[in-house]
């Protein structure tokens, strides 16, 4: 019987923990490395991992039924869109229920990963451990390295500037109560923070500024959670039809963005990552928030906008997204310039048969069920029950996917990893089924052989499956 490969999982956030569950289900040996002292990643408020950070008022913007793992539904008594506290508890309960905690190395992130000549990886943890692994699954998230405007706006600003990643509440990390604030961006964080600061008794003035317009989508439309209504469309529905139906719903149920003082979007619905907010349009309509075009320059305490208007401002919050980074890899091995990393179904890198990525996408929906399926898929692959297509076929599919995305979406680093929830899941399921058929026609040998175990113990595997003393090698020195 073939020995299963040993796997390193990076990160115990919402993607990492469900991968661990799938590996455990198939008996695949693994270790999970987590910088913080508990699971949850970005959903853990005041996370001590030094990377994740969320604001105190954060709620999910995808319905709980769409966000939950299929193997572990959320409690029925959860609200449609709960805040971070029950979501974090849900992740903790998931780990406890499936007994995953014993395999997670807490307060011990991955410092360095070095590919070896024999295909294994030498993983060095932040505590100095050096362990060989046969495969690595990267689930370190992509909302932890703030992206700032490049180049920055000209001039000098005398007030305070922070990124939304650092924003906690109106008094932390900087005092915003009674202040005049510009929130730069048109994404979900910009909407949430603008709404919070515009409440009576909080900021003195709130200005929402951006380079372009956006379609603002409410959580509820016609009395029902809007994202739940998309389930009525079967996977594979042509995008033009989805766009027509969605655009019609917005036109009837919401109206024109210009009627609320926002600029007319320079794209049609569905051609940019959705901006979801139930409250922002009401706040704009009441005058609690005032829209301004993009910043043109700073002048001491004043900010000049591209329409020529000027305002005295005390603080600016950049809600300008994140950079995708893998600090444990050398950049020449793996990097994502402008957040671009071509992957087969956002999971497999065609050049490497033992390095995988989970949760590295921006879905029109929640990441969790998609990451859950990726974990199951990888477990089937590592146990020899699924075979990948040929490298040319994978590269062809990647090119076709990227061509479709470029044709559909506004050009932006934000849209290099965009996927449609239903379609992405459907085509992953379809590929898994096809790959199982390919595997059944072959000898079902493991695509990633077990070598790391013997390197760590100073032994090597023999042709008969038994271990023998390992010959001296520089690779064994750890």
Q: Which of 179-183, 332-336, 389-393, 451-455 has the lowest mean pLDDT?
A: 451-455
The CA distance from 155 to 411, in Å, is 27
Please name every residue paired with 161 in a beta bridge, in sequence order, or none if there are none: 316
Closest CA to 113 of 237, 6, 8: 8
Hey, what CATH topology would domain 148-320 get? FAD/NAD(P)-binding domain (3.50.50)
Closest CA to 322 of 440, 259, 414, 204: 414
Under DSSP, the state recorded for 2 is P
Q: Is 92 exposed, middle or buried (0-12, 13-18, 19+ CB in 10 A)?
A: middle
Residue pair 140/38 in contact (Cβ under 8 Å)? The answer is no
Please name every residue paired with 210 in a beta bridge, in sequence order, or none if there are none: 293
Chain segment 192-203, per-residue pLDDT in tens: 999 999 999 999
7-144+323-457 and 148-320: identical CATH topology: yes
Say what the pLDDT of residue 267 is: 84
Closest CA to 328 of 13, 110, 104, 106: 110
Closest CA to 357 of 331, 339, 375: 375
The CA distance from 228 to 291, in Å, is 30
Measure the N-to-C terminal CA separation of the chain; round to a whole number of Å: 29
The CA distance from 329 to 351, in Å, is 16
Output the average pLDDT for the chain. Answer: 90
- Residue 474's pLDDT band (boundaries 50, 70, 90)? very low
Higher pLDDT, 457 or 83: 83
Chain segment 321-350, per-residue pLDDT in tens: 999 999 999 999 999 998 999 999 999 999
- Residue 128's pLDDT band (boundaries 50, 70, 90)? very high
CATH class of 7-144+323-457: alpha beta
Q: Is 399 exposed, middle or buried (0-12, 13-18, 19+ CB in 10 A)?
A: exposed
Residue pair 294/306 in contact (Cβ under 8 Å)? The answer is yes
- Residue 266's pLDDT band (boundaries 50, 70, 90)? confident
Chain segment 74-120, per-residue pLDDT in tens: 999 999 999 999 999 999 999 999 999 999 999 999 999 999 999 99
The predicted model gives 253-269 an average pLDDT of 90
Give the domain ranges of the chain: 7-144+323-457, 148-320
Kindly report whether the peptide bond that precedes residue 174 is cis, defined as omega within 30 degrees of 0: no
The CA distance from 230 to 249, in Å, is 11
Cα 373–276–53 angle (5° rounding)? 70
Say what the pLDDT of residue 443 is: 74
Question: Tokens for 119?
Answer: 């295909």
Closest CA to 95 of 24, 47, 144: 24
Query: What pTM did the predictor assign?
Result: 0.91
- Coil, helix or strand at residue 161: strand
- Coil, helix or strand at residue 14: helix
Q: Is the predicted pLDDT of residue 457 greater than 80, yes or no?
A: no
Chain segment 57-67, per-residue pLDDT in tens: 999 999 999 99
The CA distance from 422 to 267, in Å, is 22
Question: Tokens for 436?
Answer: 């199982």
Measured from the Cβ of residue 297, the count of other Cβ atoms closer than 10 Å reads: 15
Measured from the Cβ of residue 157, the count of other Cβ atoms closer than 10 Å reads: 20
Say what the pLDDT of residue 472 is: 33
- Residue 362's pLDDT band (boundaries 50, 70, 90)? confident
For 56-65, the CB contacts below 8 A with 24+ separation are: 56/168, 56/169, 57/83, 57/169, 57/192, 57/196, 58/83, 58/84, 58/192, 59/83, 59/84, 60/87, 60/366, 61/188, 61/219, 61/276, 62/227, 62/365, 62/366, 63/225, 63/227, 63/228, 65/228
Say what the pLDDT of residue 460 is: 44
């Amino acid at each position: 019987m073939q020995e299963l490969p040993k796997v390193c999982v990076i990160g115990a956030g919402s993607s990492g923990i469900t991968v661990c569950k799938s590996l455990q289900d198939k008996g695949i040996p693994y270790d999970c490395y987590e910088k913080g002292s508990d699971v949850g990643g970005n959903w853990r408020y005041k996370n001590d991992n030094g990377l994740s950070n969320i604001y105190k008022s954060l709620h999910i913007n995808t319905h709980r039924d769409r966000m939950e793992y299929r193997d572990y539904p959320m409690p029925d008594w959860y609200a449609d869109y709960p805040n971070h506290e029950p979501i974090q508890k849900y992740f903790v309960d998931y780990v406890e229920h499936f007994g995953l905690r014993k395999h997670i190395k807490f307060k011990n992130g991955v410092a360095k990963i070095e590919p070896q000549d024999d295909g294994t990886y030498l993983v060095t943890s932040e505590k100095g451990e050096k362990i060989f692994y046969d495969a690595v699954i990267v689930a370190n998230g992509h909302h932890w390295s703030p992206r700032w405007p490049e180049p920055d706006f000209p001039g000098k600003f005398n007030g305070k500037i922070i990124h939304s990643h650092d924003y906690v509440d109106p008094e932390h990390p900087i005092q915003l109560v009674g202040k005049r604030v510009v929130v730069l961006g048109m994404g979900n964080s910009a909407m949430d923070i603008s709404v919070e600061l515009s409440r009576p008794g909080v900021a003195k003035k709130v200005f929402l500024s951006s380079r372009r317009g956006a379609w603002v989508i409410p959580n509820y439309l016609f009395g029902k959670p809007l994202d739940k209504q998309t389930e009525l469309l079967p996977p594979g529905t042509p995008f033009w039809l989805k766009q027509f139906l969605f655009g019609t719903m917005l036109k009837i149920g919401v109206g024109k963005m210009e009627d609320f003082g926002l600029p007319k979007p320079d794209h049609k619905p569905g051609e940019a990552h959705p901006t979801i907010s139930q409250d922002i349009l009401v706040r704009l309509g009441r005058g609690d928030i005032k829209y301004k075009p993009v910043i043109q320059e700073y002048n001491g305490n004043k900010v000049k906008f591209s329409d020529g208007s000027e305002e005295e401002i005390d603080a600016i919050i950049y809600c300008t997204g994140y950079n995708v980074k893998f600090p444990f890899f050398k950049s020449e091995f793996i990097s994502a310039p402008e957040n671009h990393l071509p992957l087969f179904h956002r999971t497999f890198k065609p050049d490497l048969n033992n390095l995988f990525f989970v949760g590295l996408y921006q879905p029109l929906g929640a990441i969790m069920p998609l990451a859950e399926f990726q974990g199951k898929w990888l477990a089937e692959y590592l146990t020899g029950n699924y075979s990948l297509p040929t490298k040319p076929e994978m590269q062809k599919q990647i090119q076709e996917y990227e061509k479709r995305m470029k044709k559909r979406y506004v050009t932006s680093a934000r849209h290099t990893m965009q996927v449609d929830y239903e379609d992405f899941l459907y085509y992953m399921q379809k590929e898994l089924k096809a790959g199982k058929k390919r595997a059944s026609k072959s000898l079902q040998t493991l695509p990633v052989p077990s070598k790391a175990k013997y390197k760590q113990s100073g032994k090597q595997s023999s042709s008969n499956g038994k271990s023998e003393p390992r010959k001296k090698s520089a690779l064994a020195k750890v």
